[in-house]
Amino acid sequence: MAAPERPASLAPAGASEGEGLVRSLTPRQTTMIGLGSALGTGLFLGSGSAISAAGPAAILSYAIGAVLVAIIAVLLGEMSAAHPVQGSFGAIAHTYLGPWAGFLTRWTYWFSAVVVIGTEVVAAALYLRWWWPGIPMGAAILAVAAVVLAVNAVNVKSFGTTEFWLSTVKVTALCAFILCAAFLVFFGLPDHAATGFAHLTDDGGFLPHGAKSVWIALSVVMFAYAGFEVVAITAAEATDPQRTIRTAMRQLAWRLSVFYVLSIILVTALIPWRHLAAGDGSLEASPFVRVFSDVGVPAAASLTNMVVLIAAVSAANAQLYGASRLLHSLAHDGLAPAPVGRLTARGVPAVALAASTLGIAAAALLAFYDVGGIFTFLMSIALFAVLLVWLLILASYVAFRRHRDAHPAEFTGFSVPGGSRLAVLAGLGVLAVAATAIEVPDMRQAAWVGLSFTAVLLAGYALIAARRRQH
């Protein structure tokens, strides 16, 4: 079998060159970066939507999502450990699927991350205004954006340290929530009897909307898991990439699974699911607020606001990191303007970083003019992009594994037993999530918008390829 074509950003397997990027991220920081990107408002505030769709059976949706994400994470970890380079899964897709795949993967992920960065910064500004409504929206957005940009602009070590502590706060808050909720479920309080698990079956049964609802709820659940891919992007700046990525991906997979599934089990055990489904997405309707209120914590909403504020800043921080690194790798491969590939003396892709903040400016304008429909339009692209990137990662893995099995001497490090079969299984799972567009209007919009956006990207790549052939 012929060796696959390598883009400029992809070093030989097992290489440790970062192409000017500085290797200073530790395994602990890398794991927390992944948690910071994936563990956010999708769980803290958005879980009510999944419960509304499936009732207590949303537990199954989160469990299925956890298995699917765990498979993708471990397989991506194997590829990233073998190729710890800038561009990560985008550069790997270029090598094993073709230049078009590398172009499509990186630009799609970059655009989705830019959208998420903008919306997370605006969300953080809204959380600040919840405490201080007198602050102008523009000033609040600028304040949050300045913090996120400053953390990323200093150096990667500063970013890793900050993201580690932001994620630690989130994880600590979630652990506190789980402990409090578990105590109420099993023991109760003097003025609050233990609920047990009767709420899981006493109002229409465990499947009040039927088995089909478990599938429909996946359209909400899977987007809440998105973001773990940032761990793979850190491979080019990890101190010991093979050990770091392997450890980080495995820890991330089981931590996300435990946090999400256990939290949903406890929430639906404590509070009748119809009450959770009736929430309008406001802070006071959050399952976290309700559990803290039941425990008797004063100012439960204020405490939760602090947590979701940190979650939004942490997610924007991690997404900005990932977006800037993929854009930098595109420039290095000649698929983005050359200035985007420049690094500062501290190894930071400053131009790529600045370009990746475009979503903040766009989201700020949309928030200022209250153009809610455009937000939905942009988030539809982001949602489609996540599923498309996952499919491209899995397809890359199948081709990667075929090459690895044919040339074992080229590779060191761990390999996942039955990896190719797992990739196919996970790919079918991702397609099943995409198929919820048949029933879910938001997913249907995501499919139409996303397919159009993909066609534009592929047309752009065709023009670039044609121009290169002429020269």
Residue 3 has pLDDT above 70, yes or no: no
Choose from 236-250, 301-315, 420-434, 453-467 the range with maximum mean pLDDT.
420-434
Choose from 159-163, 237-241, 329-333, 390-394 the range with maximum mean pLDDT.
390-394
Which pLDDT belongs to residue 12? 42
Which pLDDT belongs to residue 215? 94
Q: Enumerate the β-bridge partners of residue 189.
A: 192
Residue ranges making up the domain that contains 417: 27-470
- Better-scored residue on pLDDT, 395 or 237: 395
- Mean residue pLDDT of the chain comes to 82
Q: What percent of the chain has pLDDT over 90?
A: 22
Burial 252-274 (b: 16+ CB within 10 A, else e): bbebbbebbbbbbbbbbbbbbbe
When pLDDT is cut at 50, 70 and 90, the band that residue 333 belongs to is confident
Asked if residue 71 belongs to a domain, the reply is: yes
Asked if residue 231 belongs to a domain, the reply is: yes
Which pLDDT belongs to residue 376? 60
Asked if residue 19 belongs to a domain, the reply is: no
When pLDDT is cut at 50, 70 and 90, the band that residue 53 belongs to is confident
Which pLDDT belongs to residue 397? 96
Q: What is the DSSP string of 364-410?
A: HHHHHHT-HHHHHHHHHHHHHHHHHHHHHHHHHHHHHHHHHHH-GGG
Asked if residue 10 belongs to a domain, the reply is: no
Asked if residue 16 belongs to a domain, the reply is: no
Which pLDDT belongs to residue 322? 86
Which pLDDT belongs to residue 96? 94
Contact call for residues 42 and 223 (beta carbons, < 8 A): yes
Q: What total number of domains does the chain contain?
A: 1
Asked if residue 201 belongs to a domain, the reply is: yes
Asked if residue 21 belongs to a domain, the reply is: no
Q: CB neighbours of 79 closer than 8 A, spacing ≥ 6? A: 89, 92, 232, 393, 396, 397, 400
When pLDDT is cut at 50, 70 and 90, the band that residue 1 belongs to is very low
Instruction: Indicate which CATH number applies to the domain containing 250.
Output: 1.20.1740.10
When pLDDT is cut at 50, 70 and 90, the band that residue 265 belongs to is very high
Residue 412 has pLDDT above 80, yes or no: no
C-alpha–C-alpha distance, residues 176 and 136, integer Å = 33
Select from 323, 320, 277, 365 the least CA-distant residue to 106: 323
360 three-class SS:
helix
Asked if residue 337 belongs to a domain, the reply is: yes
Which tokens go with 72?
């993708």
Alpha carbon 309 to chain centroid, angstroms: 17
Span 352-356, average pLDDT: 89
Residue 280 has pLDDT above 70, yes or no: no
Choose from 19-28, 62-71, 369-378, 412-421 the range with maximum mean pLDDT.
62-71
Select from 28, 19, 21, 3 the least CA-distant residue to 255: 28
- Better-scored residue on pLDDT, 237 or 163: 163
